[in-house]
Amino acid sequence: MFFVILKTFVVDIYRSSASAEISNHNVARPGESCRNSELCVGGSICDSGQRMCICAAAHEPLNGVCVLKEALLRMRPGQACRVTNECVNGAVCLADSGICQCDELHHEENGLCYSNAAKNKKSGSNFFHSIPTNEPKRIAEPCPLSEDSYKCSLPHCFCSKDGRSPPASMPPTSIPQFIVLSFDDAVNGRTMRDYRALFERPQIFNPNGAPVKATFFISHEWTNYNDVQWIADGGHEIASNSISHESLERSNLSRWMAEMDGQRQILASFGNVDEMNIVGMRAPQLGMGADDQFEMMERTGFLYDNTMSVNPGAMPYWPQTLDYRLSWHCENNNCPRSSFPGIWEIPMNQFHGTGSKRSAMIRGALELNSSVDEIEQVLRKNFERSYYTNRAPYILSLNADFLQLGGDRGMRALTRFLTSLQNRPDIYFLTLRGLVKWLQDPVPLERMQDFKDSSERSSNSSRFSSYDYYTKHEIRQCEKPNKCVYATPFLSSGEHQFLTCDPCPSMFPWVDNPLGRII
């Protein structure tokens, strides 16, 4: 307990120090002097020998930010072009005029294309934030009895007295067995090797022919946003896992908002993810935040949470909305007490693993020396607990520690397990957002051929209107992203860097400054 409090205290110091660091220093842009301790911005750091702000290798300053040297040779918005790859990142070559122009997800600033997500925030607008009210929250009551079912009805409300009953009173045999692949933490070179192996050339498909998609809960520190863009452009769901990746169990409402909604802004601004599609969250370190967490979700428009660890016993729990009291035992003192209508809690049914191990994360249920056969057996036994009982969704909580267990034993076991299931007509893989879509309007197994996962792009995003991502793949990732480097004396590591297909921000994005602006 002392360690958790100490870590939270240290992170708060980092946050206040970051603001002071930005405010108390003059700033210098790439190519300018940092001789008098100016703070280098625009993706540059101070070279101790030259006492000048320098960009990463193979990068040069352009209008105050570091860009890849190759970009200096590319055509910028308004300049003539013949093909799109002659234009800078974020721009397309218009066939009718032969001119480079920022695409629909970007806008032009100083000769470069910047994400529209950052532009929207400049005006202070935020389509997620609701106006807080002074009305006290209503304490959640028990789920209504079946004769009072009108009090809680789909698509906006669902609960059951025991938490184990499926929606719409569907018999298990008519329910598809859903499997959700979910991944935690930062996305970078350590994890992308495995993600590409799983998804670059789809090998596993649903009975309706759709390739398997996953949900990625992404934290900010050490994430490369060109990789985030690759994941999102492949049709996978992107969700928030906080900026600092520190536990928020003892944090207040404003900190929850800064961390979770701030990470949503970062993902949109530097990963080119449609912000309206980032509707899910998993708390960092699986630390619940009681009512403050769900008040944050209500105010910022998050649709679902996938944090709560529950012991399923012999039969797993189904998700429910938080209109009414939780139907399962809360093992954490920080579970919500108030009513939060329309917000879905998707419980993490704990995995029963080797020996007497039990954990919400698969890796925590395994011994370090577990063999491929043993790991696959754990995956299968926990799956069968859902499949042969109430068909509750089987959510695989994966991370690099699992995939790279014993080198590649976790990855091999997962691949074997998934391959063994793909020919079953009653098993479907969904993202968590797609699962919520199904929960809101349950479709029986015989009608699943026409069901489409909600990880599709928003209807107002024309970028993906030219193809059906269920059958085709159009991944428009930049081949050579910008490398943004920053001195971060206010964090535990004095230097941070990340890759992005967009121009580097002035400052390293962090809590309370997610867009990396000079404050």
Range with lowest mean pLDDT among 102-106, 221-225, 301-305, 512-516: 102-106
Q: Which of 101-115, 336-350, 505-519 has the lowest mean pLDDT?
A: 101-115
Section 467-477 average pLDDT: 42
259 φψ region: left (φ > 0), alpha (ψ -120 to 50), beta (else): alpha
b/e per residue, 56-95, with b = 16+ CB within 10 A?
Answer: beebebbebbbbbeebeebbbbebebeeeeebbbbbbbee
pTM above 0.85, yes or no: yes
pLDDT at 71 over 90: no
- DSSP assignment of 16-47, as one string? HHHHHHHHHS-EE-TTSB-TT-PEE-SS-EEE
Fill in the amino acid letter for 441.
D
CA distance 415 to 197: 10
The first and second tokens of residue 234, run together, are 């492949």
Q: How far apart are CA 497 and CA 500, in angstroms?
A: 10
Q: What is the pLDDT of residue 116?
A: 85
State the first-to-last Cα distance of the chain, in angstroms, to the nearest integer.
Answer: 35
The tokens describing 99, both together, are 């001119």
Residue 90: per-residue pLDDT: 87
pLDDT of residue 131: 56
Closest CA to 506 of 322, 307, 269: 269
Residue 58, amino acid = A
Residues 320, 160 contacting (CB under 8 angstroms): yes
Q: Judge whether 234 and 199 are in contact, CB under 8 Å.
A: yes
Q: Average pLDDT over the chain, rounded to whole?
A: 88
The pLDDT of residue 83 is 86
Beta bridge partners of 83: none
Quote the CA–CA distance of 107 and 408 in Å, as a whole number: 42
Specify the pLDDT at position 70.
Answer: 83
Q: Which CATH superfamily is domain 152-464 in?
A: Glycoside hydrolase/deacetylase (3.20.20.370)
Could you report the per-residue pLDDT of 128-150, keeping only the tens digit for each?
Answer: 556 566 678 899 999 998 778 88
Over residues 171-176, mean pLDDT: 97
Question: Per-residue pLDDT averaged across 317-325, rounded?
Answer: 98
Section 190-205 average pLDDT: 93
Q: Tell me, what's the pLDDT at 21?
A: 45
CB-side neighbour CA atoms (13 Å) of 35: 3
The pLDDT of residue 130 is: 61
The DSSP secondary-structure symbol of 62 reads E
User: Any idea where the domains of the chain sit in the sequence?
Assistant: 2-126+478-500, 152-464
Reduce the secondary structure of 404-466 to three states and give it as a string. Answer: CCCCCHHHHHHHHHHHHHCCCCCEEECCHHHHHHHHHCCCCHHHHHHCCCCCCCCCCCHHHCC
What's the CA gap between 273 and 281, in Å, rounded?
15
293, 283 Cβ separation under 8 angstroms: yes
Does pLDDT of 8 surpass 60?
no
Q: What is the mean pLDDT of residues 474-482?
A: 70
Q: Residues 150, 152, 153, 158: is their CA dihedral positive or negative?
A: negative
Max avg pLDDT among 17-21, 199-203, 287-291: 287-291
| DSSP assignment letter at 108 | E
CA distances from 403 to 44, 137, 367, 429 (A): 34, 42, 14, 19
| 455, pLDDT greater than 70 | no
Beta strands at 215-218 and 237-240: parallel, antiparallel or unpaired: parallel
Average pLDDT over residues 355-364: 94
CA distances from 460 to 359, 456, 465 (A): 40, 11, 9
What is the rounded distance in angstroms from the CA atom of residue 298 to the CA atom of residue 340? Answer: 7
Residue 82: per-residue pLDDT: 86
The pLDDT of residue 411 is 97
The DSSP line for 128-145 is TPPPP--SPPPBPPPPPP
Place of tokens 């918005």: 77
pLDDT higher than 90, residue 380:
yes
Mean pLDDT (whole number) for 112-116? 87
The pLDDT tens digits of the residues spanning 210-253 come to: 999 999 999 999 999 999 999 999 999 999 999 999 999 999 99
Question: Which H or E run includes 254?
Answer: helix 253-256
Please give the pLDDT value at position 257: 98
Res. 126: pLDDT tops 90: no
Nearest C-alpha neighbor of 278 from the set 211, 326, 231: 231
8 A C-beta contact, residue 107 and residue 114: yes
What percentage of the chain reaches a pLDDT higher than 90? 73
Report the share of the chain in percent with pLDDT over 70.
87
Would you call 281 helix, strand, or coil by DSSP? strand
- The residues that bridge with 109 in the sheet, in sequence order, are 112
d(C-alpha 249, C-alpha 41), whole Å: 33
pLDDT band at 115 (very low <50, low <70, confident <90, very high): confident
